[in-house]
Amino acid sequence: LESKAAEVFEQLEEKPKVVECHRVGVQKEGALRPVKVTLSSSDTVGRILGKSRQLRTTDRFSRVFISKDLNVEERNARKKLVMELKQKRENEPGLHHFIRNGTLFSRNHAGS
């Protein structure tokens, strides 16, 4: 598991010191489980989170998503924001809606 995480970090041109690496949740047939990776440096975490969007453009890691670990309150707040986002996208399809830094934004599509 650590070697697979290292491959993702290598794609981002980072070589962090991994403190801990394990799967989260209960194993179920055919279900994917997230991997929690703890790193030794918060600076490295920030760089990796900043570069994580680069994975979308790769063939091998296009379905890999990196996010910081959230506590229960943060997860609930994020879940509420995502529900609001889905509602806005349905009710106002002419606008571009997105979440950034815990806030929901809406703006005109580029070129509109």
Helices (H), 1-112: 2-11, 42-51, 72-91
Is residue 98's pLDDT more than 80?
Answer: yes
pLDDT of residue 1: 85
Q: Reduce the DSSP state of residue 92 to 3 states and report it.
A: coil
Q: Reduce the DSSP state of residue 50 to 3 states and report it.
A: helix
Is residue 110's pLDDT more than 80?
Answer: no
Is residue 18's pLDDT more than 70?
Answer: yes
Closest by CA to 8, choosing from 84, 65, 91, 75, is: 65
What sign does the dihedral 10-51-39-68 (CA atoms) show?
A: negative
pLDDT of residue 87: 95
Q: Measured between alpha carbons, how far is 66 from 35 in angstroms, rounded to an integer?
A: 10
What number is the average pLDDT over the span 16-39? 91
Please write the tens of the pLDDT for every residue from 34-91: 999 999 998 999 999 999 999 999 999 999 989 888 899 999 999 999 999 999 999 9
**pTM here?**
0.70
